[in-house]
């Protein structure tokens, strides 16, 4: 089970994130229910005024070597389970992130 799907010009990554964590970190792949997987990410940012979403974008952009503008939240703006759209990234790049 993979937490991503490939589109023509981007990759959509399912992310389950926890705000107000002790440190920013990847926490592995988890079962997101309904036969789906998600990448678990812990962030120190609080879920206030979009701070956690901006921290998630910055974290993923840094981890994948992308500009922040290439990472957007497609769905789940106010939810812990989000679909993040990654432009300009390849499947091997995402696979390295998941290891």
Q: What is the pLDDT of residues 23-50, one digit of tens each?
A: 999 999 999 888 899 999 999 999 898 8
CATH topology assigned to domain 4-98: Conserved Hypothetical Protein Mth637; Chain: A; (3.30.1200)
Q: Three-state DSSP class for 84?
A: strand
Distances (CA, A) of 84 to 5, 22, 31: 11, 23, 17
What burial letters (b/e) apply to 7-18, b meaning 16+ CB within 10 Å?
eeebbebbbbbe
pLDDT for residue 35: 85
Q: Among residues of the chain, what percentage have pLDDT more than 90?
A: 86
Give which of 19, 75, 26, 25 is closest to 47, Cα–Cα. 19
Bridge partners of 6? Answer: 11
pLDDT for residue 61: 97
Tell me if 20 sits within 8 A of 80, measured CB to CB. Answer: no
Mean pLDDT, range 44-68, rounded to an integer: 95
**Whole-number average pLDDT of the chain:** 94
Each domain of the chain, given as residue ranges in start order, spans 4-98
Beta-carbon count within 10 A of 57 CB: 19
Tell me if 68 sits within 8 A of 57, measured CB to CB. Answer: yes
Mean pLDDT, range 60-86, rounded to an integer: 96
Of residues 61 and 1, more confidence is placed in 61
């Amino acid at each position: 089970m993979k937490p991503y799907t490939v589109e023509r010009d981007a990759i959509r990554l399912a992310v389950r994130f926890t705000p107000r964590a002790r440190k920013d970190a990847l926490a592995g792949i988890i079962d997101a229910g309904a036969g789906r997987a998600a990448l678990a990410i812990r962030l120190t940012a609080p879920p206030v005024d979009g701070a956690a979403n901006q921290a998630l974008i910055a974290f993923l952009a840094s981890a994948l070597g992308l500009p922040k503008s290439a990472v957007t939240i497609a769905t789940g703006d106010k939810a812990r389970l989000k679909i993040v759209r990654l432009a300009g990234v390849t499947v091997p790049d995402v696979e390295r992130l998941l290891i």
